[in-house]
Amino acid sequence: MNYKLIACDLDETLLNDDHIVPESNIYWIQKARKEHNIKFVPATGRGYMQILPELRQLGLDKQKDEYVLSFNGGALTENKDYHLIDWHGLDFNKMKELFEFGLKQDVCIHVYTNTVLYIYHLSESERERIKHQKLQAIYPDEDSVDFLKDEPIAKILYQNIDVPYLMSLEDQLKDITDGCVSVSYSSNRYMEFNALGVDKGAGLKNLAQKLGCSIEETIAVGDNYNDLTMLDMAGLSVAAGNAVEDVKKACDYTTKANNNEGVVAELIRKFIYHEDI
């Protein structure tokens, strides 16, 4: 198969533990783009504005006909002039319900508009992660989201490094989420809430159609539960060597490399350049 598009998760897949793109990934991504016209598309739970450093590292920042799937597929953006092509946001009132429930739980809360990240009840573990990621965020003084009523809401998430605890909240949230909210988990620390029907798989399918690319000509690579729909949708699914076991079981191939060793470099060498790895 001659693949044309690679959709790639960022955290714990493309990025190493220092939240930087390893040099081997940069080299092979740029080589595949130049020599095989491979479209490389970051597919992330973060917002477009939160991954600008990574886009600059990859040489994709401000480029025409280069794209980002952000907010778990909630937005599709062309990198030239931050051109928003598709948007599937979360209803403000639904976000507020989730926010107010989260205030009563042992969680840090992130609220994303299309351009700004707001963080409430910052935990120490999240403080360290944000410091390493160099994320720009606003930390409101009051436990309220009313000032965002007229803003486009992308998603809301809860953070706790105890994933079983986060998962235990799902049944308690059914009255809020059933029939109107998609729930997913990422980075072994986040419980994420998007509008119903929003996921990375739907985003990949939409992008491939817009580019005139068959889904069979796509590769998806990831490490965690919010990547599963994208991995299931793609023509070839690749799990990072450090992926959770459920993701490894769902994929066609698991890299020998973990995220510190060049997951994307390995898959490009194997499936684009057909090296024997």
Phi, psi at residue 131, to the nearest 5°?
-60, -45
Task: From residue 88, give the alpha-carbon distance in Å to each of 173, 200, 202, 222, 255.
Answer: 21, 12, 11, 22, 32
Bridge partners (DSSP) of residue 149 are none
pLDDT at 277: 85
Bridge partners (DSSP) of residue 95 are none
pLDDT at 133: 86
- Shared domain check, 61 and 131: no
- Work out the number of other CB atoms within 10 angstroms of the CB of residue 263: 33
- Shared domain check, 169 and 100: yes
Q: Among all chains, which residue has been given the structure tokens 């600008």?
A: 52
Local structure of residue 51 (DSSP, 8 states) = G
- Shared domain check, 266 and 137: no
Q: In the numeric block, which tokens belong to residue 102?
A: 């989260």
- Shared domain check, 77 and 114: no
DSSP-derived pairing of the beta strands 83-87 and 75-78:
antiparallel
- Shared domain check, 64 and 139: no
The domain that holds 121 is classified in CATH as 3.30.1240.10
Q: Which of 154, 178, 193 lies at the terminal end of a domain, its last residue?
A: 193
Per-residue pLDDT of the chain (277 residues; tens, 9 = 90+): 899 999 999 999 999 999 999 999 999 999 999 999 999 999 999 999 999 999 999 999 999 999 999 999 999 999 999 999 999 999 999 999 999 999 999 999 999 999 999 999 999 999 999 988 888 999 999 999 999 999 999 999 999 999 999 999 999 999 999 999 999 999 999 999 999 999 999 999 999 999 999 999 999 999 999 999 999 999 999 999 999 999 999 999 999 999 999 999 999 999 999 999 8
Q: Among all chains, which residue has been given the structure tokens 């953006």?
A: 77
Bridge partners (DSSP) of residue 69 are 43, 76
The total domain count for the chain is 2
Range of the domain at 28: 3-85+197-271
